[in-house]
Structure 1
Amino acid sequence: MIVNAEKSVNPESDLLALREALHQRLDQLLPVVDEQDRVSAAMRAGTLAPGRRIRPLLLLLAAHDLGCDRHHPGLLDFACAIEMIHAASLMLDDIPCMDNALLRRGRPTIHRQFGQHVTILAAVALLSNAFGLVASARDLPTGCRAQAVAELSGAVGLQGLVQGQFQDLSEGHAPRSSEDIARTNDLKTSMLFDAALQMAALAAGASPEVRQKLRCFAQDLGQAFQLLDDLADSHASTGKDANQDEGKSTLVALLGAEAVQQRLRSHLHSADQHVTLACRHGAATRHFMHSWFESQLAAFG
């Protein structure tokens, strides 16, 4: 277990400091080796573009709430690996044979900047780098790193992001039940949240009971996050293509915006209960979740 030397978290200043630490470490991990190396340039562009860093921040904040020093270098490596995985998934989601998106984080998508073949290679390289980084994360026990690799592998593979993207592409334009849509959302979104939180729990030496509560938290959080994303689809201020879900069987299309907002808040309430039970000695994760969702709902609600 990584012992935490101090417990207090100033929400705004600490989040800024954590985001900066993440950016600096990612910059170190993805250096510019050769100006002609377009694959490396695409990896940097996809990962270092200004983003919310929600998943790595959750990892660091949850680890702190579980008793860790959130500035521990191994935790920072875990968090950067999560962000690399997320960046790779977005790059692949956006390519023409998938969602064919034009904008991401307010900028042209990576395939528009570098071409589809470079984007695919860069995403594969990011995935490889992420697993290598977790396996060699600084100052963490070998067993912790091995279990973290397994958690991340499960989140990315055929029972995680890959399956979720396949279901979305193959079934997303056909009529689906709310249960089927929720299952796809769980695979696409909740699984990577779960991996981030489990990696935090492993570093903290958390009990199986705490880890199970964090799994439930991640599931509700992922569902809420995807519902918010669906509600924001028609807005032009998200940094992504507007109306990307047009013609798709989302819960907004099936149930309507008002019912989806109610469902979203129900997931947030459930998530709050789970994280409160899991993190009894800190509330940074809980406060971050509520602050972020309330600000987004104010803009898109």
Structure 2
Amino acid sequence: MTVNAEKSLNQETELLALREALNSRLDRLLPSGDERDRVSAAMREGTLAPGKRIRPLLLLLAAHDLGCDKHHPGLIDLACAVEMVHSASLILDDIPCMDNATLRRGRPTIHRQFGQDVAILAAVALLSNAFGIIASAEGLPADCRAQAVTALSSAVGLQGLVRGQYQDLSEGGERRSPTAIARTNDLKTSMLFDATLQMAALAASASPLVRQKLRCFAQDLGQAFQLLDDLADSHDGTGKDPHQDAGKSTLVALLGADVVHQRLRDHLSSADQHFAYVCNQGVATRHFMHSWFEQQLAAFG
């Protein structure tokens, strides 16, 4: 076995262990409820259904690369909080008055399983749980926990996911400029990546300069992630409904798949440079980012 192959195998083994730790901790943090507690059941289904866990893995890997102790007692809880927020956003994104999706992560969407009323309540409960988990995370000073709550609430609120979703609903069917589309993508996707990385930086006691560079990294990563999602929309086998973007003004519709492929790679290159600037020794985050996108592009490219 070559050195590179052995290193890749070790990295995959580490990622598998991190995913298992995340799933185990999420299982403990989510309410167990009983067979009559449909809200708790919807929360668990929406969060524990097999997913990529991109954001919580990114938080853990970035924190480790920035020098945070791998055994930091509250780090995995911060990662779980991010996953709960992401899961809540997916539940809301799928409901009939939004995208009216039928599939998510290869399963019927939460509103199709439990009803729209339970889906909305489950999403609200997940958001509430997430902020409570951050507020009580072990090993972080009170001011860091407060900053983490602020970062995540900004990503979710009117200057983040909420505004991005509203723009997508109200303007998505109109012809928009590439700049306008990118602005919506920032709000819908980059903002949560930014909050994820800011929490990693807080756990690692990173400097303001590092945190600013991580914002640039998150912006490029979010744009690349959304472009990949747009490219995948015409494919089956993604675990989601295909052709959800039909009739919407995406960059794929506006510029074509080839141009979007190049833009995606440009954003990945820029993201890599930003992270390398603040962390030229730790490579786990960068390897994770590149290998994940290459796997997806091979499937959908």
Contact 1:227–1:264 at 8 Å: present in 2 too?
A: yes
- Rounded to whole Å, the distance in 2 between the matches of 1:47 and 1:138 is 22
1:194 to partner: Cα distance: 0.4
Q: Which amino acid aligns with 1:160?
A: G
Report Cα offsets for 1:72-116 as digits up to 9, x if no partner: 230100000000000000000000000000000000000000000
Q: What is the TM-score with the length of structure 1 in the denominator?
A: 0.96
1:284 to partner: Cα distance: 0.5
- Rounded to whole Å, the distance in 2 between the matches of 1:209 and 1:139 is 23
Secondary structure, aligned partner of 1:31:
coil
Q: Which residue of 1 aligns with 2:103?
A: 103
Q: Could you tell me the percent identity over the aligned residues? A: 80
1:76-115 to 2 correspondence within 5 Å? 76-115=76-115
**In the alignment, structure 1 residue 148 sits paired with structure 2 residue 148:** yes
**In the alignment, structure 1 residue 234 sits paired with structure 2 residue 219:** no
Q: Which amino acid aligns with 2:166?
A: F
Q: Which amino acid aligns with 1:140?
A: L
Report Cα offsets for 1:24-65 as digits up to 9, x if no partner: 000001132222100000000000000000000000000000
1:183-194 to 2 correspondence within 5 Å? 183-194=183-194
Q: Which residue of 1 aligns with 2:271?
A: 271
- Rounded to whole Å, the distance in 1 between the matches of 2:144 and 2:65 is 18
Contact 1:67–1:281 at 8 Å: present in 2 too?
A: no
- Rounded to whole Å, the distance in 2 between the matches of 1:241 and 1:180 is 25
5+ unaligned residues in a row in structure 1: which ranges?
1-8
Q: What is the TM-score with the length of structure 2 in the denominator?
A: 0.96
Q: Which residue of 2 aligns with 1:211?
A: 211
1:214 to partner: Cα distance: 0.4
Contact 1:61–1:70 at 8 Å: present in 2 too?
A: no
1:227 to partner: Cα distance: 0.2
Deviating 4+ runs (over 6 angstroms): none
1:247-262 to 2 correspondence within 5 Å? 247-262=247-262
Secondary structure, aligned partner of 2:245:
coil
Q: Which residue of 2 aligns with 1:119?
A: 119
Contact 1:103–1:240 at 8 Å: present in 2 too?
A: yes
Contact 1:224–1:264 at 8 Å: present in 2 too?
A: yes
- Rounded to whole Å, the distance in 1 between the matches of 2:116 and 2:276 is 43
Contact 2:168–2:184 at 8 Å: present in 1 too?
A: yes
Q: Which residue of 2 aligns with 1:220?
A: 220
1:165-176 to 2 correspondence within 5 Å? 165-176=165-176
Comparing 28-37 and 253-262, the one that deviates more? 28-37
Secondary structure, aligned partner of 1:10:
helix
5+ unaligned residues in a row in structure 2: which ranges?
1-8
Secondary structure, aligned partner of 1:73:
coil
Contact 1:182–1:223 at 8 Å: present in 2 too?
A: yes
